[in-house]
Amino acid sequence: MSSGWADRARGILVWAGLTTAVAVPVTAAAVSPLLAWREPIYILAGFAGVIALALLLIQPLLAGGYLPGMPALKGRQVHRLVGGVLVAAVILHVAGLWVTSPPDVIDALLFRSPTPFSFWGVVAMWAVFASALVAAFRRRFHLHAWRITHTVLAVVIVVGSIVHALLIEGTMETVSKAVLCGLVFAATVRAIAGLRGWTIRARRDS
Protein backbone atom coordinates (compact mmCIF):
# COMPACT_ATOMS: atom_id res chain seq x y z
CA MET A 1 0.00 0.00 0.00
CA SER A 2 2.76 2.44 0.96
CA SER A 3 4.61 1.67 -2.27
CA GLY A 4 1.47 2.42 -4.27
CA TRP A 5 1.02 5.78 -2.54
CA ALA A 6 4.69 6.60 -3.08
CA ASP A 7 4.41 5.84 -6.79
CA ARG A 8 1.27 7.93 -7.04
CA ALA A 9 2.90 10.84 -5.22
CA ARG A 10 5.94 10.60 -7.47
CA GLY A 11 3.71 10.61 -10.51
CA ILE A 12 1.89 13.72 -9.33
CA LEU A 13 5.17 15.50 -8.65
CA VAL A 14 6.61 14.59 -12.04
CA TRP A 15 3.54 15.75 -13.95
CA ALA A 16 3.27 18.90 -11.83
CA GLY A 17 6.92 19.68 -12.49
CA LEU A 18 6.54 19.12 -16.23
CA THR A 19 3.41 21.26 -16.36
CA THR A 20 5.17 24.05 -14.48
CA ALA A 21 8.26 23.85 -16.69
CA VAL A 22 6.07 24.33 -19.77
CA ALA A 23 3.45 26.71 -18.39
CA VAL A 24 5.78 29.28 -16.82
CA PRO A 25 7.72 30.29 -19.97
CA VAL A 26 4.57 30.15 -22.12
CA THR A 27 2.68 32.36 -19.66
CA ALA A 28 5.61 34.75 -19.37
CA ALA A 29 5.69 35.10 -23.15
CA ALA A 30 1.93 35.64 -23.24
CA VAL A 31 2.12 38.66 -20.91
CA SER A 32 5.22 40.18 -22.51
CA PRO A 33 4.82 43.93 -23.14
CA LEU A 34 6.53 43.44 -26.51
CA LEU A 35 3.34 41.86 -27.85
CA ALA A 36 1.55 45.22 -27.79
CA TRP A 37 3.30 46.33 -31.00
CA ARG A 38 3.12 43.06 -32.88
CA GLU A 39 0.69 41.92 -35.57
CA PRO A 40 -1.57 38.95 -34.70
CA ILE A 41 0.08 36.70 -37.29
CA TYR A 42 3.51 37.53 -35.85
CA ILE A 43 2.29 36.71 -32.35
CA LEU A 44 0.86 33.41 -33.59
CA ALA A 45 4.14 32.56 -35.29
CA GLY A 46 6.08 33.41 -32.15
CA PHE A 47 3.90 31.28 -29.93
CA ALA A 48 4.20 28.39 -32.36
CA GLY A 49 7.95 28.60 -31.79
CA VAL A 50 7.48 28.69 -28.02
CA ILE A 51 5.21 25.64 -28.16
CA ALA A 52 7.72 23.83 -30.37
CA LEU A 53 10.45 24.44 -27.78
CA ALA A 54 8.17 23.14 -25.02
CA LEU A 55 7.42 20.00 -27.05
CA LEU A 56 11.14 19.31 -27.21
CA LEU A 57 11.05 18.81 -23.45
CA ILE A 58 8.19 16.34 -23.68
CA GLN A 59 9.55 14.29 -26.60
CA PRO A 60 12.60 12.66 -24.93
CA LEU A 61 10.60 11.96 -21.78
CA LEU A 62 8.02 10.10 -23.86
CA ALA A 63 10.63 8.24 -25.90
CA GLY A 64 12.44 7.10 -22.77
CA GLY A 65 9.30 6.07 -20.91
CA TYR A 66 10.06 8.46 -18.05
CA LEU A 67 6.56 9.89 -17.60
CA PRO A 68 4.35 8.17 -15.00
CA GLY A 69 1.41 6.40 -16.60
CA MET A 70 3.31 6.34 -19.90
CA PRO A 71 5.27 3.08 -20.14
CA ALA A 72 7.85 2.82 -22.90
CA LEU A 73 5.56 1.39 -25.59
CA LYS A 74 2.70 3.81 -24.99
CA GLY A 75 5.15 6.68 -24.53
CA ARG A 76 6.69 6.03 -27.93
CA GLN A 77 3.27 5.94 -29.56
CA VAL A 78 2.45 9.34 -28.07
CA HIS A 79 5.97 10.44 -29.01
CA ARG A 80 5.09 9.91 -32.67
CA LEU A 81 1.88 11.90 -32.32
CA VAL A 82 3.66 14.76 -30.56
CA GLY A 83 6.27 14.64 -33.32
CA GLY A 84 3.51 15.43 -35.81
CA VAL A 85 2.39 18.36 -33.66
CA LEU A 86 6.00 19.56 -33.49
CA VAL A 87 6.28 19.54 -37.29
CA ALA A 88 3.01 21.50 -37.53
CA ALA A 89 4.25 24.05 -34.97
CA VAL A 90 7.50 24.57 -36.89
CA ILE A 91 5.60 25.04 -40.15
CA LEU A 92 3.25 27.53 -38.51
CA HIS A 93 6.21 29.36 -36.98
CA VAL A 94 7.99 29.76 -40.31
CA ALA A 95 4.83 30.44 -42.31
CA GLY A 96 3.77 33.19 -39.93
CA LEU A 97 7.16 34.85 -40.16
CA TRP A 98 6.98 34.53 -43.95
CA VAL A 99 3.68 36.42 -44.02
CA THR A 100 5.06 39.24 -41.89
CA SER A 101 8.48 39.51 -43.57
CA PRO A 102 9.20 37.31 -46.63
CA PRO A 103 12.69 38.80 -47.32
CA ASP A 104 13.89 37.94 -43.81
CA VAL A 105 12.67 34.35 -44.13
CA ILE A 106 14.27 33.98 -47.56
CA ASP A 107 17.59 35.26 -46.21
CA ALA A 108 17.34 32.83 -43.29
CA LEU A 109 16.53 29.86 -45.53
CA LEU A 110 19.47 30.72 -47.79
CA PHE A 111 21.77 31.09 -44.75
CA ARG A 112 22.58 34.69 -45.56
CA SER A 113 20.74 36.35 -42.69
CA PRO A 114 22.91 38.72 -40.59
CA THR A 115 21.27 37.44 -37.39
CA PRO A 116 23.08 34.37 -35.95
CA PHE A 117 19.89 32.92 -34.43
CA SER A 118 18.42 32.48 -37.92
CA PHE A 119 21.14 29.99 -38.88
CA TRP A 120 20.48 27.79 -35.86
CA GLY A 121 16.73 27.99 -36.34
CA VAL A 122 16.90 26.90 -39.97
CA VAL A 123 19.27 24.03 -39.14
CA ALA A 124 16.86 22.84 -36.43
CA MET A 125 13.90 23.22 -38.82
CA TRP A 126 15.43 21.02 -41.51
CA ALA A 127 16.43 18.48 -38.86
CA VAL A 128 12.80 18.37 -37.66
CA PHE A 129 11.59 17.70 -41.19
CA ALA A 130 14.29 15.09 -41.77
CA SER A 131 13.44 13.37 -38.48
CA ALA A 132 9.76 13.23 -39.42
CA LEU A 133 10.67 11.77 -42.82
CA VAL A 134 12.91 9.15 -41.24
CA ALA A 135 10.14 8.25 -38.78
CA ALA A 136 7.63 7.89 -41.62
CA PHE A 137 9.90 5.39 -43.40
CA ARG A 138 11.09 3.62 -40.26
CA ARG A 139 10.28 0.14 -41.60
CA ARG A 140 12.76 0.60 -44.45
CA PHE A 141 15.67 1.09 -42.05
CA HIS A 142 17.60 -1.48 -40.08
CA LEU A 143 16.60 -0.88 -36.46
CA HIS A 144 20.11 0.03 -35.28
CA ALA A 145 20.69 2.38 -38.23
CA TRP A 146 17.30 3.98 -37.67
CA ARG A 147 18.02 4.62 -34.00
CA ILE A 148 21.38 6.19 -34.76
CA THR A 149 19.91 8.40 -37.49
CA HIS A 150 16.94 9.46 -35.38
CA THR A 151 19.16 10.16 -32.36
CA VAL A 152 21.63 12.26 -34.36
CA LEU A 153 18.78 14.29 -35.83
CA ALA A 154 17.28 14.73 -32.37
CA VAL A 155 20.58 16.12 -31.09
CA VAL A 156 20.75 18.56 -34.01
CA ILE A 157 17.16 19.63 -33.37
CA VAL A 158 17.73 20.19 -29.66
CA VAL A 159 21.07 21.99 -29.96
CA GLY A 160 19.87 24.13 -32.86
CA SER A 161 16.62 25.01 -31.14
CA ILE A 162 18.27 25.86 -27.82
CA VAL A 163 20.87 28.13 -29.40
CA HIS A 164 18.19 29.69 -31.62
CA ALA A 165 15.97 30.43 -28.62
CA LEU A 166 18.75 31.74 -26.36
CA LEU A 167 20.08 34.11 -29.01
CA ILE A 168 16.69 35.71 -29.61
CA GLU A 169 15.75 38.66 -27.42
CA GLY A 170 12.00 38.50 -27.85
CA THR A 171 8.79 37.83 -25.98
CA MET A 172 10.12 34.89 -23.96
CA GLU A 173 11.26 35.90 -20.47
CA THR A 174 15.02 35.36 -20.09
CA VAL A 175 15.22 33.23 -16.93
CA SER A 176 12.26 30.92 -17.66
CA LYS A 177 13.51 30.49 -21.23
CA ALA A 178 16.97 29.53 -20.00
CA VAL A 179 15.51 27.06 -17.51
CA LEU A 180 13.32 25.47 -20.19
CA CYS A 181 16.30 25.17 -22.53
CA GLY A 182 18.35 23.58 -19.75
CA LEU A 183 15.59 21.07 -19.05
CA VAL A 184 15.28 20.22 -22.74
CA PHE A 185 19.00 19.54 -22.92
CA ALA A 186 19.02 17.46 -19.72
CA ALA A 187 15.99 15.40 -20.79
CA THR A 188 17.57 14.71 -24.18
CA VAL A 189 20.87 13.62 -22.65
CA ARG A 190 19.02 11.36 -20.21
CA ALA A 191 16.98 9.74 -22.96
CA ILE A 192 20.03 9.16 -25.16
CA ALA A 193 21.96 7.68 -22.23
CA GLY A 194 19.04 5.38 -21.46
CA LEU A 195 18.82 4.27 -25.08
CA ARG A 196 22.54 3.57 -25.18
CA GLY A 197 22.32 1.52 -22.00
CA TRP A 198 19.38 -0.46 -23.38
CA THR A 199 21.32 -1.15 -26.59
CA ILE A 200 24.38 -2.40 -24.69
CA ARG A 201 22.23 -4.73 -22.57
CA ALA A 202 20.48 -6.05 -25.66
CA ARG A 203 23.80 -6.85 -27.30
CA ARG A 204 25.06 -8.65 -24.21
CA ASP A 205 21.89 -10.73 -24.01
CA SER A 206 22.24 -11.72 -27.63
What's the average model confidence in pLDDT over 116-145? 93
Selection from 105, 157, 95, 165 nearest residue 131 by Cα: 157
Model confidence at 200, pLDDT cuts 50, 70, 90, reads very low
Give the total residue count for the chain.
206
Kindly report the pTM of this predicted structure. Answer: 0.90
pLDDT tops 50 at residue 136: yes
Chain segment 63-104, per-residue pLDDT in tens: 988 999 887 788 889 999 999 999 999 999 999 999 999 999
At residue 3, the pLDDT reads 66
pLDDT at 58 over 50: yes
Measured distance CA(204)–CA(49) in Å, rounded: 42
